[in-house]
């Protein structure tokens, strides 16, 4: 007589703890990024209206604001031309290729917008999006 050894059946279970941890991490991530986005857009800028405006495909861009008097803002913090240029250089070194989203007020002097475009070109920006309202 041959004796058969009884097989033990290992129960396969779903581990819930890692899923809960991941959920909390995602929740914290989205809370933090939402706050940053709201701060960057809190600068009082009245965007111009463009009848042919189109929404950009990607929104992972560095945001620079330019108010009606020509004052630069990195996010919601006022900055000088030199600070903006230094910020763009650092961003290009750390996260190439540099993509920039410029929110310029409709009353911003064209000279200041051209100055910013030249700075973006100097640091090597490959994509510059101008914020406008669609008509």
Q: How confident is the model at residue 41 (pLDDT cuts 50, 70, 90)?
A: low
Cβ-Cβ contacts under 8 Å for 8 (sequence gap 6 or more) = none
Structure confidence at residue 27 (pLDDT): 85
Structure confidence at residue 81 (pLDDT): 92
Structure confidence at residue 39 (pLDDT): 53
Structure confidence at residue 128 (pLDDT): 86
Domain 36-134 belongs in CATH node 3.40.50.300: no
Structure confidence at residue 54 (pLDDT): 78
Are the beta carbons of 61 and 101 closer than 8 angstroms?
Answer: yes
pLDDT per position as a tens digit, 18-39: 888 898 888 888 777 665 555 5
Are the beta carbons of 66 and 108 closer than 8 angstroms?
Answer: yes
Structure confidence at residue 31 (pLDDT): 74
Q: How confident is the model at residue 115 (pLDDT cuts 50, 70, 90)?
A: very high
pLDDT per position as a tens digit, 45-72: 888 888 887 776 665 677 888 988 889 9
Cβ-Cβ contacts under 8 Å for 65 (sequence gap 6 or more) = 40, 43, 45, 72, 73, 75, 76, 102, 103, 104
Structure confidence at residue 86 (pLDDT): 93
Which residue carries 């650092």 as its tokens? 90
pLDDT per position as a tens digit, 86-102: 999 998 888 777 888 88
């Amino acid at each position: 007589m041959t004796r058969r050894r009884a097989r033990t059946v290992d129960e396969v279970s779903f581990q819930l703890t890692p899923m809960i941890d991941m959920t909390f991490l995602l929740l914290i991530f989205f809370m933090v990024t939402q706050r940053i986005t709201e701060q960057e857009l809190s600068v009082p800028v009245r965007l111009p209206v463009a009848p042919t405006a189109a929404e950009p495909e990607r929104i992972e861009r560095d945001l620079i604001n330019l108010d009606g008097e020509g004052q630069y803002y990195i996010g919601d913090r006022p900055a000088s031309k030199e600070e903006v240029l230094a910020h763009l250089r650092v961003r290009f070194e750390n996260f190439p290729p540099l993509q920039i989203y410029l929110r310029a007020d409709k009353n911003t002097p064209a000279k200041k917008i051209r100055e910013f475009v030249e700075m973006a070109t100097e640091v090597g920006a490959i994509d510059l999006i101008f914020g406008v309202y669609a008509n």
